[in-house]
Amino acid sequence: MNPYMVAFITGLTTGGLSCLAVQGGLLASSIGRQLEQDILSQGGQGRKASVTPASQKSHRAISILLFLVAKLIAYTLLGFLLGALGSVLSLNSTLRAVLLVAIGIFMIGNGLRMLNVHPIFRYFVIEPPASVKRYIRRKSKSEMDYFTPIVLGALTVFIPCGVTQAMMAVALATGSAAEGAAIMFAFTLGTMPIFFAVAFMATELGSRMEKVFMRFVAVVVLVVGLLTINSGLTLMGNPYSVSSLRQNENLIDTAPVFVEGDLTLSAENNGYFPATLYAQAGVPLSLNVVTENTTSCSRAFVIPALGVETILPRTGTVPIDIPPQDAGTVLRFTCSMGMYTGQIVFSQ
């Protein structure tokens, strides 16, 4: 099958769902911003408000489309650069983790601003420079916020899901700027229908309860922000992330079975199994990561403490060399977005 069609179908199926789980918070922030604009316009103009229910629906649809088009352009450009310059442009796990934490903090601040918790959170909003805002006011009487969805859509390029990273690896392997751009364009285009459908249906459900729905969006942004920060901490290998703490609790309740020699880990669509492996300390070993028709984020395999980052094949086995570890060491592994995690516990 044509590789561009494969990329499109991947985006239309697993890619759309995977990306929505990771990037949905930014889309929710974009929709929430437009809800605020419409409510403020209604409140400030009384009964003669220019923002009618029909125009509100149009504003939200445009906001979602602007977000998706900006995302499409950003990923197409990324594919072009990856194809042209190769691995120089790839983000390592540490940088992705820092970006996830930063974006999570922004989302939490934005959610608290939408809830009017404190005036300080007014700074957590993406707006164009004052000069650009004045120019827009002079040239347009529309209450549509064009700037926020474009910026947030472009920002998704910094938090690709695992399936997206697999496509990035394909774009990188083409060695051609044009082919890399085409691969990423086809894949991102495939993810757009599910993004638009979910977002627009959500706004329609809340169209008769504007202020209540805006609070709901704010809470969603807060929750996703916290999850995003946790994903960043997990990707760093931080022992205080929620997943690490939960795994530590499981260690207490589970009788360990230590294995001498090589280890086998199954990378499946819903995570890594077994989630906890036990190994002998003080000796080198090989971790054999097995995939079988795996298409989820788990293909982007990371061991933060060892600097291991690899894209696993859809089906196959990848051996990873692990140097001798001290007794009591807990070596954590994760997918590249901190969604699926596991650990190797070493003992004498």
CA pair distance 131, 145, nearest whole angstrom: 16
Mean pLDDT of the chain: 76
Location of structure tokens 């125009």: 55
Q: Where residue 319 falls among pLDDT bands split at 50, 70, 90?
A: very high
What does the pLDDT look like over 213-247, one tens digit per residue?
567 767 877 887 788 788 788 878 777 777 677 76
Q: Where residue 145 falls among pLDDT bands split at 50, 70, 90?
A: low
**Average confidence (pLDDT) over 321-338:** 88
List the chain domain ranges.
3-236, 243-347
pTM of the model: 0.59
pLDDT at 234: 82
**Average confidence (pLDDT) over 101-116:** 80
Sign of CA dihedral 213, 216, 222, 228: negative
CATH homologous superfamily for the domain 243-347: Cupredoxins -  blue copper proteins (2.60.40.420)
